[in-house]
Structure 1
Amino acid sequence: MPTRNRGLLAVLMTTVLMIAGLAVASLASAAPSPSPSPARAERAAQTLTWTADNSTTRYKTAPTEAVAGPTTIVFENSTATGNTSGMQHTLTFDQGGGEYNDDVEVNILAYPSDENAGRWEVEVDLSVGTYKFLCTIPGHGQMTGELVVTDGGGGEPGEDTTAPEVDVELAGEQDADGAYIGQATATVTATDEEGGSGVASVEYQVDDLGWQPYTEPVVVDEVGDHTIGYRATDEAGNASAEGNTAFSVVGVDGPDTTPPTVEAMVHGETNDDGAYLGRAEVMLMADDAQSGVASVEYALDGGEWTAYTDVVAVTEVGEHTVAYRATDVAGNVSEAGELTFTVVEAPDDDTEPPVATASVAGTQDSSWSYRGEVTVTLAATDEGSGVARVEYLLDDGDWTTYDEPVTVDDEGAHSVQYRAVDLGGNVSEVGTVGFTIVADTAAPACPAPDPSPVVVMGDVGTDVRNRVTDDGSCTIDDLIRDEARWSSHDAFMTHVRSVLAGLLESGYVTGAERTKVVNAATRSTVGKEGA
């Protein structure tokens, strides 16, 4: 499978991302932060792997059995697992207690275009019992399941805790320095120890350009230095450490004496005179048919030569000149090219402020106070110039730039104010969420169940009996919490659908009753502004 020039691919990938204008909202989570999956000197005793694809009703694969103890949890929602739509999925462990273990907090958001191409890991310590896992993104309420954890004795399930072994073999004609002449063929093999669950999947990537399913030997014929990465997962969900092997490919026609070619282009909105309004973005592309591109450089307005790694944004008003050149692996340097353009002031036509929203997450008691800690997640949208930043103010503190969900664990009453600013300088209205934190005790979640004979959503009633559920202390109304402070009606509806999905699965409500409650919640004013 031939590859294209790494320098050109990196530039093209950057261009696609720029045009797509992707923006990702942070996901609220008190769970351990997921991290990319580097090779590790020591791994947990077992690895459990969940995968997702284009479905909104079920995970593609999900383990159902494990043994207690240190565990690596892998969640992958990538093109390699079948997600061709770019859809976001989460893997979350239920923290509601009751019949399920709630001693492990997992909340991982993954999608193909995220910073780790959709594959993340967290380390946890599982205890004997049953965990419920689910997806918390709206519309994914059916993606649930149970993970049964045993102590591992007496032949119980989960005995395969050993990851498969994976290796690569390179083949091809080599020169005196060990470089492959013309092309190298990489063959990846994986085995699972005798008595293990067997190899489920094998993947590879060339030059860190994205993981792909391995189905046949991979041919690399681009001249230059390369690395091939490889990994495997067995049927029990154990994932191997990632391996990486470096190699070089040289041309078959003797020494490379031909310099590379390099091109430049400018993108941006222009006026009738061809001047760029407020911002011009310069992109450089280089190619070399023999030894490969080693570096690309540019110089803006007669300045120093600078390594080109990403799109160069020019916002200063006036006429500009960008010089550019490229060097190949053999040391040949292209002639310098030049590109001239003009940037003028952009019309100030964005007068609409952005919209900021907030959501509060945590475990609440019967009086709607949060036990132990609260996580506040902020988001903002702007249809004009785009969001520049989001800020928050906790209690009597100072305004602070929002980078990630804010965790508050001091007991007492708190308030969080929030706002957003767009690139046009417009500031949103200040929003406020308030909450109270109490000590995290082992008191029952519902010591005084809601006595209503039927389920009522805000001011909208149903004919569904308000029955007691799971542990004998909480009614359906208690679990739905229609009297709580909700940051938005959408947040309330997400919670309603999640609760009812669990009650339907457990047999506490019928499908028809679930529909009645969801319809009543939809018609209610819970979470709506002014309610």
Structure 2
Amino acid sequence: MKLSASLRDAAGNEGKSRDVELKINSTVPSQPTIALKVDSGIAGDQLTNDATLNISETAAGVTRVIKLDGFKLDYYNPNQMDHYDPSKLTDGLHKVEVIDTNAAGNSISSGEFSFVLDKTPPKWPLLKLVEDTGTKGDNITRNGEYTVSAEDGVRVEYKVYGDAEWHTNKPVAVEGRNYTNIIMARAVDKAGNVSDETVLKFTLVTTPPPKPSLLIDVSDNIVDDPFLTNKNLWSVSSGYWKEYSADGQNWTHLEQGAKVGSAEGVNHFFARATDEAGNVSEVAEYTFTKDTIPLLLRKLISIL
């Protein structure tokens, strides 16, 4: 557009006219775009643990302003304290707007971009045996079930000792008297933050121990009879917790190495063993004869 202008003074003198050319630019710049660089956790939920943004580049001659939560930032000078620094953002909701302005003063906004920043890891899960059978606190059990307690809304991941990758399938305990289950767990929240690991170690034993064996001294026998003795004491042998009973109902603990007195004649009793996991063996039933009366005296007694 061309304009012609001249000046005239009070006396009517008119100066030379001069043409002025004006350029009108009403074109706005391209609309800037904003996106999370890392939408951690669930894609598309605008919840992240990394506030770094992907912002489209500016065109030549365009001035850019960034607003963070309503405050204007210095886009061009990253050394200024008010430059957008994702590491300085606190947890919570944040709103970002980018405004581009060209040399003609035409401006365009990206629109308000909102996201939630969550950099706080969840608490680690708690793993606990449902039942520590046998001796409490030794983590030897006949019940391989365990509970998992975690914060609401997190995903629990597991791996067992030797695994390279984490997975969401709850591991099943492996049975074995000489095997230690080592189960690790961690929590991952919706923003992708990962908790510390927790570990549960225990041994699962479901196989009962062998039943105890009878111990009586038959060294003086002149006949091959393992259930005949002339000794007063007897015991049972087992590498586990031992109990004996006269009626199979009421049980008495028998310490390792301890012996029990016997009566003259036929002795009848029951015995069982219990391992560290609380598994109880089959009940053993034993009958033996104690004979301490010499043969001659026995004949005299029979005569009388």
The TM-score range, normalised by the shorter chain, is under 0.3
Q: TM-score, normalised by structure 2?
A: 0.28
Q: Choose between structure 1 and 2: higher helix proportion.
A: 1
Higher relative contact order at CA 8 Å, sep ≥6: structure 1 or structure 2?
2
Larger-Rg structure: 2
Task: State TM-score, norm by structure 1.
Answer: 0.17
